[in-house]
Structure 1
Amino acid sequence: MGVSKLPAPRVPLSSRGYIDRMDAGLTAVKGAQEIIAMISSRRFVTRLVLGHNELADDGCVVLFKFLTSSVGRKYQIAEISLNSNCIGDRGLAAISDYLQGNQVLKVLFLQDNKFTGDAQTLTSFVTALNASRLELLSFTSNRNLSNPFVEVFLPSLDSPYLREIHLSAIGLTSLAAPHLISYISSPRCRLHTLKCSGNSLGFRAVKAIIRAIERHNFSLLIVEIYANHAVGPVSSDNTSGDDDDEDGVEGPASLDAWKASEAHIRRVLLRNTHLKRETEKEALQLLRYARPLLLTSSGHAPSTRCTDCSCAHPPGPRSGPADSDGAAAPAARGFAFRALPTELQLHIMSFLAPTLSPAQRIRIYTFASSPATLPRAGLCLPDRAGIGSMCVLDPSSMPFGMASGGCAGGKCAGATNSVVCHKEQQRAEWLSAVGCAAYDPLREGDTGADPVQ
């Protein structure tokens, strides 16, 4: 009786570009060289997981010098994890060189290292961050950073792509609160997630941060500021512009007061989530109607004929039913919307999106009225369409006989282990491009007062 051969284990396509060397005993330069050898042996690498080793500054400099080289840049690495690697300021400077102008890296974990918060190093890092497309950055558990870190980092932070930042357990006190509040309240803050737990901000500072989010920030959807009881004497600095603590005196807050603050921030974040959902829905709806109403006649529209296949020209616009003398029937003429003054057209369309601010609507009108923004609309058969326009599925998760396309019947295949849903990705990119990824509180008739009283 022959021995049956077991099938090879499935390796998901999404993980074939991963290098996972967590807790592998990688040390200094030798460890970095081992990682470089692994990278060089692969055709592509999308993720480096190197946590809980001891690369230190020497290893980090060698690794990122390679990644910054012309050879290293060929690898489209989207995520790097370097937590607990004894990396100091010299290593952070090497990371800054790699981050400068990087359009691929999206996620960077730097938890529990030995950064000191040197002002010059941090300035170089935040400058590189602003010029990158990094979306998630974690400095959690770097307790040597403390207040001087946010004093340098947050006032200079102006990344248009950063969406999530982790500043938990880095030794912050109430002295850091004004810098956090200033950033949260400014248009430079485009975050949807802020994690700042395990510090020593104190009750008054936490309450002032919540108040700032309520009044000035509509993009944050997840905020974690747990375990922020002040250690030692309560600071007398005024972290909020209008103290309205219920007890009216300084001192440790009660457990009930902390619970009330947690309930308050939950309500504020629910408000932001609801407004974001309404803003995105109305933005897409407004585009759907503004496109045919504002786009000029078909003579100005670009050709929809494909250049790489033999599909036919789209049929021309059909004329309505005509009278015996050749004139269009009254029922076919309809309401001459385009004959109205432009201002009146835009005002009428604004009722389709009452949640949007005037600036948001104008950006959508500008986009909708430009023929240059029309997508290429070749009349190709589905199997001739470009792969880049569909969801990309993990082949190992597809049952036998399943079509290669990721979306079918108008439904996205995200629930069946798709690697990327291009439809959702393109929609999110468009909403961000027209500034409709979050609610804009600047309404008509605003006088500069807080939108939420």
Structure 2
Amino acid sequence: MGVTKLPLSVPLSSRAYIDRMDAGLTSARGAQEIISMVSSRRIVTKLILGHNELSDDGCVVLFKFLGSAVGRKYQIAEISLNSNGIGNRGLLAISEYLRGNRFLKTLFLQNNLFTSDPEAFASFTAALNTSHVELLSLTTNRNLSDFFVEIFLPILDSPHLREVHLSAIGLTPHAAPHLIAYLSSPRCRLHTLKCNGNTLGFRAVKSIIRAIERHNFSLLTVELYSNHLVGPVSSDNTSEEDDDEETGGPASPDAWKATDAQLRRVLLRNSHLKRETEKDALQLLRYARPLLLSSAGHATSTRCSNCSCGEAPSAIVSDPTSEHTQFRFRSLPTELQLYIMSFLAPTLSPAQRIRIYTYASSPATLPRAGLCLPGFPGRVSSSACVLDPASMPFGMPSGGGCVGGKCAGSRNSVMCHKEQQRGEWLAAVDCSAYDPHREGETVPV
């Protein structure tokens, strides 16, 4: 008698994934197969469809379904369509699905057949600006070229886009002014830009790095590898102050190494200033919350049972009517109160501090009981965090929580709910990156 093998269990997390990479899916027929799989499931969060031949026909059929009333109920967070032979007609179908989409976070469109059609990419960029996409990859779409960035970057203004991949898309020094203009503008909220495998050239790369150094404090990862020019360096207008010695031929390896070292220093600066900005923002909220609320009763309700997010020294938050109070802080003019509190957050700009003051002074933003900061109005509390197993002594109850900061999320094993809430709050008050617009101060380099 043979031994009966039990079927392998499928992890709960993977049941929401549809992975049909290199599955031979072609045109509308392949799209119908994907639609059948999606319709047979209650939840779908990922569509991995790379290395098929859906082409424009299949892409149009698929996204017409995903954009319908039935398809919209699936809160898909990631779609991968690399190497599918998709052209501009398919891109327009994707654009319709992107418009106003709050769930899609990651979109991979590498190695397709897009061309620099003004209408197609203007529609795509406008839809991207209204979506919540955080990562967009257009790598190895070699037909895009410089004309694509002339269309794409001047109108790109997505408040949620954090990572863009533009590697190997045929960019030359003529694309540099558009890259520089976008990276230098407040419209750029990226923390990652990958632009490898193009032919930007030494002068353009150096000008891009100079623009990041002077104007951009949000970028933490920038890749500009393999951007050598094949022939002599042509004259371009990447910078009005270009003082490079490399004007008649390719730059030396030492010059490229020096430029790479300069970029690393700039990104380290941005990373340091980001940490300081976030730390000061949380510190300022901790004190501004009890000081700016209209009554002392609101101040006491902000404290959590298992952390110090809402705590402030009792001497400062004590009731001003108490006879034991030595210094009545709340009796000072509001302008003077805010000025004194600004010393608690020296890294923040005046605009960032004002946004925190506005948030802290509103009872509508008080966190729910048991939550660490910040709480958003109407937000439902999620489950407790998972304790780091390495920090759990024997006999300790498994009730969850992040006592003492010993949460598994800090080790990237699970998502820490408190870390997620802090990140959302920092983004909401625009304190997730350093703001160089400071009155009477020089920008640190």
Interval containing the TM-score (normalised by the shorter chain): 0.7 to 0.9
Is contact 1:201-1:228 (8 Å) kept?
A: yes
Alignment correspondent of 2:333:
341
Alignment correspondent of 1:431:
426
Partners of 1:188 and 1:18 in 2: how far apart?
33
Change (3 A) 1:43 1:259: same
Equivalent residue in structure 1 for 2:365, among 357, 373, 376: 373
Partners of 1:41 and 1:261 in 2: how far apart?
53
Alignment correspondent of 2:55:
56
Partners of 1:43 and 1:216 in 2: how far apart?
46
Pairwise mapping of residues 258-337 of structure 1 onto structure 2 (< 5 A)? 258-298=256-296, 332-337=324-329
Is contact 1:215-1:452 (8 Å) kept?
A: no
- By how many angstroms is 1:377 displaced? 2.2
**TM superposition score normalised by structure 2:** 0.87
Pairwise mapping of residues 36-435 of structure 1 onto structure 2 (< 5 A)? 36-245=35-244, 247=245, 249-298=247-296, 332-377=324-369, 388-391=382-385, 403=398, 405=400, 407=402, 410-414=405-409, 420-435=415-430
Partners of 1:104 and 1:373 in 2: how far apart?
24
Change (3 A) 1:18 1:442: same
Is contact 1:392-1:418 (8 Å) kept?
A: no
- By how many angstroms is 1:425 displaced? 1.4
Partners of 1:452 and 1:409 in 2: how far apart?
34
Is contact 1:177-1:201 (8 Å) kept?
A: yes
**TM superposition score normalised by structure 1:** 0.85
Is contact 2:278-2:431 (8 Å) kept?
A: yes
Alignment correspondent of 1:324:
none
Q: For residue 420 of structure 1, give the secondary structure of its aligned residue in structure 2.
A: coil
Q: For residue 133 of structure 2, give the secondary structure of its aligned residue in structure 1.
A: coil
Pick the structure with greater CA Rg: 1
Is contact 2:386-2:409 (8 Å) kept?
A: no
Letter in 1 for 2:185: S
Is contact 2:290-2:299 (8 Å) kept?
A: no
- By how many angstroms is 1:225 displaced? 0.4
Percent of aligned positions with the same letter in both sequences?
74
Is contact 1:191-1:220 (8 Å) kept?
A: yes
Letter in 2 for 1:39: V
After TM superposition, the structure 1 stretch with the greater mean CA deviation from structure 2, 73-82 or 224-233, is 224-233
- By how many angstroms is 1:145 displaced? 0.2
Q: For residue 382 of structure 2, give the secondary structure of its aligned residue in structure 1.
A: helix
Partners of 2:94 and 2:349 in 1: how far apart?
39
Which structure has more relative contact order (CA 8 Å, sep 6+)? It is: 1
Is contact 1:302-1:371 (8 Å) kept?
A: no
Unaligned runs of 5+ in 1: 305-317, 319-326, 380-385, 394-400
Map Cα deviations across residues 46-97 of structure 1 (whole Å, 9 max, x no partner). 0000000000000000000000000000001000000000000000000000
Is contact 1:406-1:413 (8 Å) kept?
A: no
Change (3 A) 1:378 1:176: closer
Unaligned runs of 5+ in 2: 303-313, 315-320, 372-379, 388-395
Partners of 2:414 and 2:322 in 1: how far apart?
51
Partners of 2:270 and 2:69 in 1: how far apart?
43
Letter in 2 for 1:287: L
